[in-house]
Amino acid sequence: MGDPEYTAEPRPDCDLCPRLVAFRDDNQQKYPDWFNGAVPSFAPAGGSAQTELLIVGLAPGLQGANKTGRPFTGDWAGDLLYATLLKFGLAQGTYAAMPDDGLELNGAMITNAVRCVPPQNKPIGAEMKNCRPFLKARIDSLPNLKVIVCLGRIAHENTLSALGLRRAEYKFVHCAEHLLSLDARKLTLIDSYHCSRYNTNTGRLTEEMFEDVFRLATSRIGA
Ligand code: URA
Tens of pLDDT, residues 123-132: 999 999 999 9
The pLDDT value given to residue 184: 83
Count other Cβ atoms within 10 Å, centred on residue 169: 10
pLDDT digits (tens, 9 = 90+) for 179-213: 998 988 999 999 999 999 999 999 999 999 999 99
- The SS3 call for residue 150 is strand
Quick check: 223 pLDDT over 80?
no
Tell me which residue has its CA closest to atom 1 in ligand 1.
72
What distance in angstroms lies between residue 223's CA and the mean position of ligand 1's atoms? 24
The pLDDT value given to residue 46: 87
Count other Cβ atoms within 10 Å, centred on residue 88: 17
Handedness of CA 114, 117, 121, 127 (dihedral sign): negative
Question: Cα–Cα distance between 74 and 9 in angstroms, integer?
Answer: 21
Residue 179, domain member (yes or no): yes
What distance in angstroms lies between residue 62's CA and the mean position of ligand 1's atoms? 9
Domain, as residue range, for 96: 18-222
Mean pLDDT of 125-145: 97
Q: Is 87 exposed, middle or buried (0-12, 13-18, 19+ CB in 10 A)?
A: middle
Mutate to test the pocket of ligand 1, among 42, 63, 68, 72 (most ligand atoms within 8 A of CB): 72
What pTM was estimated for this model as a whole? 0.96
Mutate to test the pocket of ligand 1, among 35, 63, 75 (most ligand atoms within 8 A of CB): 75
- CATH code of the domain in which 181 resides: 3.40.470.10
pLDDT digits (tens, 9 = 90+) for 20-65: 999 999 999 999 999 999 999 999 988 889 999 999 999 999 999 9
Residue 108, CA atoms < 13 Å, CB-side half-sphere: 28
Who lines ligand 1 at CB under 6 A?
Answer: 57-61, 64-65, 71-72, 75, 77, 112, 151
Residue 66, domain member (yes or no): yes
* Closest atom of ligand 1 to CA, residue 76: 8
What distance in angstroms lies between residue 195's CA and the mean position of ligand 1's atoms? 9
Quick check: 121 pLDDT over 70?
yes
Q: Could you tell me the pLDDT band of residue 1, with boundaries at 50, 70 and 90?
A: very low
pLDDT digits (tens, 9 = 90+) for 57-88: 999 999 999 999 999 999 999 999 999 999 99
Residue 11, domain member (yes or no): no
Residue 127, domain member (yes or no): yes
Residue 117, domain member (yes or no): yes
Residue 1, domain member (yes or no): no
Phi-psi region of 123 (alpha: psi -120 to 50; beta: other; left: phi over 0): beta
* Closest atom of ligand 1 to CA, residue 77: 8
Domain count, the chain: 1
Mutate to test the pocket of ligand 1, among 58, 122, 135 (most ligand atoms within 8 A of CB): 58
Residue 212, domain member (yes or no): yes
What distance in angstroms lies between residue 183's CA and the mean position of ligand 1's atoms? 30
The pLDDT value given to residue 2: 43
Q: Is 29 exposed, middle or buried (0-12, 13-18, 19+ CB in 10 A)?
A: exposed
Residue 152, domain member (yes or no): yes
